[in-house]
Amino acid sequence: MIDLEYVPMETLEAGLDHIRQAPKDQGVLQLIVRRPATEQREVLSEGQLDLVEGLVGDNWQTRGSSRTDDGSSHPDMQLNIMNVRSIGLLAPDQERWQWAGDQLFIDLDLSDANLPAGTRLTIGEAIIEVTDQPHNGCKKFAQRYGQDAIKFVNSAVGKELHLRGINARVVQPGTIRQGDQVRKI
């Protein structure tokens, strides 16, 4: 990665109203990112969601998780989803979005109030379900977007709105495409 300019806290806080205006029931899938290996990203125009693999070709399954007793992949963390308004505020250059570590970037209100665990969403031919696994900003996220960004997404309002994103699992496999409608069921 190249030297980055980070967005200051004042700018981040000023963008909260825009984030809060995200659609509640129907949004758009704006970016699909596959992570074939650590520190590798592939931006896809189309992807396959699978019950076992999550996003086909992504390293979720082989990467494992610290949240399972045996270190295997966590079934409720197949997909990491981030609000495009949130990442757009943190990284105005869309080329940097893929480094957040999420696979799906959608324009939809990801808050607990709007998408509590158990909520199902249709994306293209697939259906996914929001899980209760927290998705928090980490050291890599701070390196990529700055200390103000990590404080912002991990703040009380950041957690309420899920500014860092949410986790989900696939409940019906299918093809998804950039530009697909994302609808709450």
All domains of the chain in start order, with CATH: 9-184 (2.40.33.20)
- Asked whether the beta carbons of 103 and 79 are under 8 A apart, the reply is yes
Residues 6+ apart with CB under 8 A from 115: 108, 109, 121, 130, 162, 166, 184
| pTM (two decimals) | 0.93
What average pLDDT is seen over the chain?
A: 92
Q: How confident is the model at residue 1 (pLDDT cuts 50, 70, 90)?
A: very low
Mean pLDDT of 37-60: 95
How much is the pLDDT for 38? 87
Amino acid at 37: A
Q: What is the chain's length?
A: 185
Q: Indicate the pLDDT class of residue 104, thresholds 50, 70 and 90.
A: very high
Name the amino acid, one letter, at 161.
Answer: L
* Weakest mean pLDDT among 3-12, 22-31, 75-84, 156-165: 3-12
